[in-house]
Structure 1
Amino acid sequence: MYEKILLAVDGSEHSLRATEEVIKICQGSTHPVQLEVINALQEVRNSEIVLQQVKADDVYRDGEVRIQHNEEKLRNANIPYTRTIERGEAGKMIAEKANNGLFDLVVIGTRGLNGFQKLVVGSVSTEVIKRAKCPVLVVK
């Protein structure tokens, strides 16, 4: 079974469902699972800062707030985990983390939220599928 799982979250409905699937996997495992939760925040470009009137630090803080529901689900299920919040190209960053950390599985929602709370049509999950060397479970 899976010993090391990377759960990519952003607080969206799809990422909450991905969290629920990870809980099922962990609870059904006969051995401890090392779980890492990653929230990869898209870098804020200067043009977006001007157009959207946001600050890069606000995007980071908003990312922490958005994933609280994911973390709450894990805590309520007594699933131990570590958490990482990073900035960059989300799909590329998640796949690199999975590959460099030798994860057995990546779990991600089909759609998520970018830094400005807009729907992304699966571009991050598609990028992770293309780049990750381990299996990727995409939850809708």
Structure 2
Amino acid sequence: MYQRILLAADGSKNSIRAAQEAAKIASLIPDSIVEILFVADLSKIKNEVLHSQNHEEIEMKRNQKLIPVKDLLSEKNVSHQTKIITGDPGPAIVEYANNERVDLVIIGSRGLNALQEFVMGSVSHKVVKRVQCPVIVVK
């Protein structure tokens, strides 16, 4: 069964919807844990550094983005932990999921149109193609 559930989250509305699904699944499985993974996008780190006083402030802002997700899981009495890593979100999520051997990945869909997805590729699409476990994409 799904003991280790990886929830890719960035604090967006889509990741909160994904957290709702993670809570539903985890609440049905005794001793399961939801690992909230936040990937600090390398393309945005420069901007974070320029607008912050120090490293602690950057970490605090990243954690604040995850408060709604953590609160939702806590309200549903779901065991969870948070991991913040840096990298390109799609490949970083895939690498983490495959290296940590999670049982299930849950990720929100950003809702790109067909042209945007073709040109840029979506994080959820990259994850679905490359991760070595089941994936749920929440719209």
- Structure 1 residues not aligned, in runs of 5+: 113-120
Give 1:44 shift: 3.6
The answer on whether the counterparts of 1:40 and 1:94 sit within 8 Å (CA) in structure 2 is: yes
Q: Distance in 2 between matches of 1:70 and 1:79?
A: 11
SS of residue paired to 2:42: coil
Q: What's the counterpart of residue 9 of structure 2?
A: 9
Give 1:122 shift: 6.8
Q: What's the counterpart of residue 75 of structure 1?
A: 74
Give 1:80 shift: 1.0
Give 1:45 shift: 6.2
The answer on whether the counterparts of 1:39 and 1:85 sit within 8 Å (CA) in structure 2 is: yes
Q: What's the counterpart of residue 133 of structure 2?
A: 134
* Structure 2 CA distance for partners of 1:28 and 1:122, relative to 1, 3 Å: farther
* Structure 2 CA distance for partners of 1:61 and 1:43, relative to 1, 3 Å: farther
Give 1:65 shift: 1.2
* Structure 2 CA distance for partners of 1:81 and 1:7, relative to 1, 3 Å: same
Deviations 1:82-108 (A, max 9, x none): 110111111111111110111111000
- Structure 2 residues not aligned, in runs of 5+: 112-119
The answer on whether the counterparts of 1:20 and 1:73 sit within 8 Å (CA) in structure 2 is: yes
Q: What's the counterpart of residue 115 of structure 1?
A: none
Q: Distance in 2 between matches of 1:26 and 1:12?
A: 21
Higher helix share: 2
Deviations 1:56-78 (A, max 9, x none): 95654432111110001111111
Q: Distance in 2 between matches of 1:8 and 1:108?
A: 5
Q: Distance in 1 between matches of 2:10 and 2:62?
A: 7
1:45-124 map, 5 Å: 49=47, 54=51, 57=55, 60-111=59-110, 123-124=122-123
- Backbone CA RMSD of aligned residues: 2.5
The answer on whether the counterparts of 1:106 and 1:136 sit within 8 Å (CA) in structure 2 is: yes
Q: TM-score, normalised by structure 2?
A: 0.80
Please say if 1:28 is aligned against 2:41. no
Q: Distance in 1 between matches of 2:44 and 2:13?
A: 26
The answer on whether the counterparts of 2:33 and 2:78 sit within 8 Å (CA) in structure 1 is: no
